[in-house]
């Protein structure tokens, strides 16, 4: 059977002549049986890597690290390579645009496969081969500082593709998030000892940055124990006034659900669950909140109302009424956010804030979530505001354009009304 590389795309020269990795690439590629494809091919490459000396594997790691160093120099948020889609190039996302970095040269599919598999442990490789996807963390030393990345590797037409997102080591100051004093108190263990707080948004909307800022604020102001369960661990918090534990799913614990249950036996005050991915994790998070803990988590939803509906919809129909009642009792705050292109060519945070007061609680229990948007828009004194109201604020502050305000609004008709604008 011909390889995809022979049938779908012709790549230019594979690697810069004379680079330290060139001879290793060539030696490994010459040993790969040509008829192997997919997982079998990746297993063969993994086996060949195991036979290399540690010095040769270090050369390959250093080669990949040069891509990441270039990413840092360009202030790129993401790097992508490997698989058919990359066309043999290294791609960077700089602000909102993703483009190939032609100056870094071109690589064969197997060279990319080698680079990816070389940085994974044996157990990570086996998980990848079984699940066809793996989240992991990675770090490099850049100019004397440790820079961390969140990696996701997956199969693209039988070959490995990789995305790595740079984790900003700088924790965003909590005061710069712009929460009202009343909402800030609800996020602090000092004032609210229990309850669930959710930060939601699409991938790349800055959810982790916001959560890390909230955790850091608690770490600096209260004496407590924080357990962070994430996949992977991004920002590492040094214990200050809080004892902070980090448990990475797949490395330190098997799942978000198990990590949350185990945390109850570890004397925590705050439990951060990196993502509520399924009904079991959602129910577990509500149960541990019920036991008197403060729980932070995330969901991939675009608005506060969508978040409520999504949580209920994830559970079986026979359980949904019970889930609505429990959710209304444990939920305290929902922050739904987006990163909007700003007039200075960067991005700025826009967010919707829902505080679960008595009216919102009743609407959740009575399955009247459609009324909640209006409640948010009319409750600014409690620290609530809709995404559209926040976008208007950013436009009036001359941080974003009118067009971007409309483009990023969930309710575009309402956004146009707020701006007194019709296209």
CATH of the domain at 374: 3.40.50.300
**What pLDDT, on the 0 to 100 scale, is given for residue 421?**
53
The last residue of one of the domains, among 108, 133, 167, is 167
**What pLDDT, on the 0 to 100 scale, is given for residue 146?**
85
- What band does 277 get if pLDDT is binned at 50, 70 and 90? confident
Neighbours of 126 (CB within 10 A): 14
Short-list 137, 106, 107, CA closest to 119? 137
Q: Is residue 26 one of the residues assigned to a domain?
A: yes
- Report whether pLDDT(71) > 90: yes
User: If you search the block for the tokens 């919809």, which residue do you land on?
Assistant: 313
- Report whether pLDDT(3) > 70: no
- What band does 250 get if pLDDT is binned at 50, 70 and 90? confident
**What pLDDT, on the 0 to 100 scale, is given for residue 13?**
40
Q: Is residue 206 domain-shared with residue 308, that is, in the same domain? A: yes
- Report whether pLDDT(16) > 70: no
**What pLDDT, on the 0 to 100 scale, is given for residue 167?**
85
Q: Average pLDDT of 87-106?
A: 93
Partner residues linked to 281 by β-bridges: none
Q: Is residue 350 domain-shared with residue 293, that is, in the same domain? A: yes
**What pLDDT, on the 0 to 100 scale, is given for residue 145?**
83
- pLDDT 10s digits, 326-360: 999 999 999 999 999 999 988 999 999 999 999 99
Instruction: Give the relative orientation of helices 22-31 and 109-118 as an angle to the nearest 10 degrees.
Output: 100
**What pLDDT, on the 0 to 100 scale, is given for residue 181?**
96
The last residue of one of the domains, among 167, 193, 212, is 167
Is the peptide bond preceding residue 275 cis, with omega within 30 degrees of 0?
no
**What pLDDT, on the 0 to 100 scale, is given for residue 5?**
34
Q: Is residue 9 domain-shared with residue 102, that is, in the same domain? A: yes
Q: Is residue 413 one of the residues assigned to a domain?
A: no
Q: Is residue 375 one of the residues assigned to a domain?
A: yes
Q: Name the token pair of 298.
A: 């995330």
**What pLDDT, on the 0 to 100 scale, is given for residue 35?**
93
- Percent with pLDDT over 70 in the chain: 95
Q: Is residue 206 domain-shared with residue 353, that is, in the same domain? A: yes
- What band does 233 get if pLDDT is binned at 50, 70 and 90? confident
Q: Are 79 and 66 in contact (CB under 8 A)?
A: no
Residue with more model confidence, 254 or 384: 384
- What band does 1 get if pLDDT is binned at 50, 70 and 90? very low
User: If you search the block for the tokens 């540690």, which residue do you land on?
Assistant: 54
SS3 107: coil
- What band does 101 get if pLDDT is binned at 50, 70 and 90? very high
Alpha-carbon dihedral of residues 63, 67, 68, 72, nearest 10 degrees? 140
Neighbours of 272 (CB within 10 A): 27
Q: Is residue 252 domain-shared with residue 378, that is, in the same domain? A: yes
Q: Average pLDDT of 392-398?
A: 96
Residue with more model confidence, 363 or 34: 363
Q: Is residue 121 domain-shared with residue 218, that is, in the same domain? A: no
Domain count for the chain = 2
Which phi-psi region, left, alpha or beta, contains residue 213 (left: φ > 0; alpha: ψ -120 to 50)? alpha
Instruction: Give the relative orientation of helices 320-330 and 279-290 as an angle to the nearest 10 degrees.
Output: 50
Model pTM?
A: 0.79
Q: Is residue 352 one of the residues assigned to a domain?
A: yes
Instruction: Give the relative orientation of helices 54-73 and 22-31 as an angle to the nearest 10 degrees.
Output: 120
**What pLDDT, on the 0 to 100 scale, is given for residue 119?**
96
* C-alpha span between 109 and 87 (Å, rounded): 9
DSSP symbol at 265 = G
Q: Is residue 418 one of the residues assigned to a domain?
A: no
The last residue of one of the domains, among 167, 184, 205, is 167
**What pLDDT, on the 0 to 100 scale, is given for residue 12?**
36
Q: Name the token pair of 79.
A: 């790097």
User: If you search the block for the tokens 């996701």, which residue do you land on?
Assistant: 152
Q: Is residue 205 domain-shared with residue 353, that is, in the same domain? A: yes
Q: Is residue 232 domain-shared with residue 293, that is, in the same domain? A: yes
* C-alpha span between 380 and 58 (Å, rounded): 55
Q: Is residue 208 domain-shared with residue 140, that is, in the same domain? A: no
Q: Average pLDDT of 226-232?
A: 92
- Report whether pLDDT(15) > 60: no
Q: Is residue 419 one of the residues assigned to a domain?
A: no
Short-list 338, 334, 337, 336, CA closest to 354? 334
Domain that includes residue 295, residue range: 174-385
Q: Is residue 155 domain-shared with residue 239, that is, in the same domain? A: no
Q: How does the average pLDDT of the chain come out, rounded?
A: 91
SS3 35: coil
Q: Is residue 313 domain-shared with residue 211, that is, in the same domain? A: yes
Q: Average pLDDT of 231-237?
A: 86
- Percent with pLDDT over 90 in the chain: 83
Partner residues linked to 341 by β-bridges: 347
Q: Is residue 49 domain-shared with residue 155, that is, in the same domain? A: yes
Q: Is residue 291 one of the residues assigned to a domain?
A: yes
Q: Is residue 360 one of the residues assigned to a domain?
A: yes
The residues near 376 (Cβ < 8 Å, ≥ 6 apart) are 304, 352, 353, 354, 384, 385, 386
- pLDDT 10s digits, 22-62: 999 999 999 999 899 999 999 999 999 999 999 999 999 99
CATH label of the domain that carries residue 140: 3.30.450.90
């Amino acid at each position: 059977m011909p390889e995809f590389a022979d049938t779908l795309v012709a790549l230019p020269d594979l690697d810069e002549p004379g680079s330290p990795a060139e001879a290793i690439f060539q030696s490994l590629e010459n040993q790969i049986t040509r008829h192997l494809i997919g997982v079998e091919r990746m297993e063969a490459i993994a086996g060949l890597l195991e036979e290399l000396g540690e010095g040769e594997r270090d050369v390959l790691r250093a080669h990949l690290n040069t891509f990441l160093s270039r990413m840092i120099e360009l202030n790129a948020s993401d790097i992508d390579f490997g698989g058919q889609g990359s066309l043999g190039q290294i791609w960077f996302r700089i602000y909102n645009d993703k483009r190939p970095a032609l100056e870094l040269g071109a690589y064969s599919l197997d060279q990319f496969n080698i680079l990816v598999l070389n940085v994974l442990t044996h157990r990570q490789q086996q998980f990848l081969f079984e699940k066809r996807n793996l989240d992991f963390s990675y770090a490099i030393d850049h100019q004397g500082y440790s820079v961390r990345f969140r990696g996701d590797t997956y199969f693209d037409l039988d070959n490995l593709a990789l995305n790595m997102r740079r984790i900003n080591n700088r924790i965003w100051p909590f005061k710069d998030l712009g929460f009202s004093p009343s909402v800030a108190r609800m996020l602090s263990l000092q004032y609210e000892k229990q309850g669930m707080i959710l930060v939601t948004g699409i991938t790349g909307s800055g959810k982790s940055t916001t959560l890390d800022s909230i955790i850091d604020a608690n770490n600096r102001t209260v004496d407590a124990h924080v357990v962070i369960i994430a996949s992977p661990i991004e920002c590492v918090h040094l214990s200050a006034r809080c004892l902070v534990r980090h448990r990475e799913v797949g490395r330190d614990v098997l799942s978000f659900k198990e990590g949350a249950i185990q945390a109850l036996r570890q004397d925590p005050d705050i439990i951060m669950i990196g993502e509520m991915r399924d009904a079991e994790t959602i129910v577990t998070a509500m149960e541990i909140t019920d036991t008197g803990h403060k729980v932070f988590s995330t969901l991939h939803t675009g608005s506060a109302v969508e978040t409520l509906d999504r949580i209920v919809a994830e559970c079986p129909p026979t359980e949904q009424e019970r889930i609505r009642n429990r959710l209304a009792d444990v939920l305290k705050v929902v922050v739904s956010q987006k990163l909007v292109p700003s007039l200075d060519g960067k991005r700025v945070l826009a967010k919707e804030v829902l505080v679960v007061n008595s009216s919102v609680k009743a609407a959740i229990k009575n399955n009247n979530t459609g009324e909640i948007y209006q409640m948010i828009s009319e409750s600014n004194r409690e620290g609530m505001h809709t995404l559209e109201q926040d976008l208007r604020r950013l436009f009036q502050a001359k941080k974003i354009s009118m067009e971007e305000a409309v483009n990023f609004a969930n309710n575009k008709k309402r956004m146009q009304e707020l701006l007194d604008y019709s296209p």
